[in-house]
Amino acid sequence: MTAMLPYGRQSVTDEDVAAVVDTLHSDWLTTGPQVDAFEADLARWTGGVGVTTVSNGTAALHVAYAAAGVGPGDEVVVPPMTFVATASSAVALGAKVVFADVEDETFCLDPAAAAAAVTSRTKVVAAVDYAGHPADYDTLRTSIDGSDALLLADAAHSIGGTYHGRPVGSLADLTTFSFFPTKNLTTAEGGAVAALDPRVLERARRFRSVGVVRDRDALRLQDEGGWYHEVHEFGLNYRLPDVLCALGRSQLRRLGDFIARRSALVARYNEALADLDGVLLPARKSWADPAWHLYPIRVLDGRRRQVYDRMRATGIGVQVNYIPAHWHPAFADLGYRRGSCPVAESFYAQQLSLPLYPGLSDADQDRVIDALAAALRVGSVRSAA
């Protein structure tokens, strides 16, 4: 039987394994020198914007919202075309989520919809770099002018991408990253938060470390002894351990190669599928250099489920990214209704992610292309019948 091709897969080398083993043999497993070094390495990809690592991508969002001061009575604007954590982590802090629709080409947050959603209670407007394509941050910034809201980039898909030549991580007040195995680099589980304001970054770093303050100058009692620390605001243990930061540092050295291979695979898909009836290919704005975490096509004429089932049956692990966040029962039970974000909901009905990861060979990609064409032919025959 032919092996299933996943839609995403990590790329782990002997060098990655050696980096982890070296750290396991060191004196540090949790918070040690690899954490600081990984954060410094990441900052070179954010254009020098400071970074704190965290235990996963959802934690990154929770930490970022906490650092922004999100709490009960606040509102957070979120697009629905995202993994639910972009919204649910704000709810966990007591905020009300306001869903704003996405643009029709990139399926990133629509600046006009965001502007319409902002009120005097808005604390954060969270854009999502869907599939690795940066949102339109300059227009988003303009759309929230006059409010006190911070702009957040959920860049779980887009580390290494650029917008008007500026790196992801430097485009919003806060940026969150995910290093889950299917993402553009991995620490197994892990994430990070970048912040333009060093004070916000320090709040993020404290929150991810249970709120502990050790800096003597910041202590309220400064002469208690070397063991002494304080908690000024409550936080959680979202620390990323040294052993996983060592893996991340090794992975990060190949991020440029990962992005280049993803871009080459996207170009091959674009060329091979350009004339295929029944699908629309992902768009790219001229001002964006995406990191391409996903290759999201749209399957037309109501045949997405049929094509999904057919390709899965032939060993092609296509995926749907994502169920609109406001459709989940947890949000439905809070009164959120279908139909409120028609662009995102229409896209969801058509969306299908084809396999895309650096280790995908040209031959395996050709297998995906052939399977998609065959699935569409079967769908056409059944529809005609």
Task: Verify whether residue 123 is a known catalytic residue.
Answer: no
- How many Å apart are CA 290 and CA 285, to the nearest integer? 9
Q: Please answer whether residues 194 and 154 qualify as being in contact, where contact means their C-beta atoms are separated by less than 8 angstroms.
A: no
- How many Å apart are CA 295 and CA 270, to the nearest integer? 10
- Token pair for residue 253? 């050295």
- How many Å apart are CA 193 and CA 244, to the nearest integer? 16
Which residues have C-beta within 8 Å of that of residue 94, sequence separation ≥ 6?
70, 71, 72, 73, 74
- How many Å apart are CA 370 and CA 374, to the nearest integer? 6
Q: Please answer whether residues 85 and 60 qualify as being in contact, where contact means their C-beta atoms are separated by less than 8 angstroms.
A: no
* 379, amino acid identity: G
Options 96, 123, 183, 285, the catalytic residue: 183
- For the CA atoms of 364, 365, 367, 368, what is the dihedral angle to 10 degrees? 130
- How many Å apart are CA 58 and CA 190, to the nearest integer? 9
Nearest to 166 by CA among 46, 318, 65, 301: 46
Residues classed as catalytic: 183
